[in-house]
Every structure is written in C-alpha cells, then in structure tokens.
C-alpha cells in the first residue's frame, strides 16, 4: 500500500468557485504547515535522495469539479531541485501530484498518492 497524504481546507463557496476559474489561487489558501507537509511527503517518497533534493515552485495547474459528484481533482506541479556539492552539478526536474477531493459543507478534503516517475 502506497503512502497517502490528506489535506483539509476550509474554503468559502464563493472563493472555491473563484478557484475553479483561476486554479493557481487554490495554493494561496494552503497554510504554511500544509505546504511543508506536502514537501516532506514528496521528499519522503523519493527513492533517490542524492543531491539533497528540495521541493520548490509549487503551482496548481488544473482544477476540475463536478457539482453532481461534489468532488473533483487538482494537479499540484512542483520542481525537485538537487545540488551535488562534490561536483558543483545542479539538476532540476518537474513533477506533479494529482489530488482527488470532495467539497462538502465548505470543506475541501483532498488526498493523493505520490508516484515517483524517476525512470533509470
């Protein structure tokens, strides 16, 4: 069983509908602790921790919602940056997590599994 992260956001209905029009706005609602948890979750699930990987540049790029199902998903994109001190080499790659969520009683409850796409 793969590890899962769960995030709960209280979000007023009008702000939620605005996020559907402008998905990047959703990230502004996350608390600093939630963002730190997401970064830690990604780091913990990386197979290769060489180069002291850091998760940066978080951005919500897609948000879909079905009123009928009272749920949807959003894509959280980010960069995994590495700096190899012994060789002064840096690397960066973009990745993402798809969060599936429900939106009930002005609470967005989202969960996701991170799959490390690093193919060797």
CB burial of 88-97 (b: ≥16 within 10 Å; e: otherwise) equals eeeeeeebbb
Residues 61, 99 contacting (CB under 8 angstroms): no
pTM of the model: 0.87
Residues 64, 71 contacting (CB under 8 angstroms): no
pLDDT grade for 74, boundaries at 50, 70 and 90: very high
pLDDT tens digits, 16-44: 999 999 999 999 999 999 999 999 999 88
């Amino acid at each position: 069983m793969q590890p899962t992260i769960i995030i709960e956001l209280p979000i007023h209905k009008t702000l939620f509908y605005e996020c559907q029009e402008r998905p990047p706005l959703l990230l502004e609602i996350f608390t600093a602790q939630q963002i730190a948890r997401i970064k830690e979750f990604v780091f913990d699930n990386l197979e290769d921790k060489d180069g002291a990987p850091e998760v940066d540049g978080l951005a919500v790029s897609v948000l879909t919602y079905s009123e009928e199902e009272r749920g949807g998903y959003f894509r959280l994109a980010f960069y995994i940056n590495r700096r190899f001190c012994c060789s002064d080499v840096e690397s960066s790659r973009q990745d993402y997590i798809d969060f599936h969520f429900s939106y009930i009683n002005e609470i967005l409850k989202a969960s996701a599994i991170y799959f490390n796409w690093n193919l060797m």
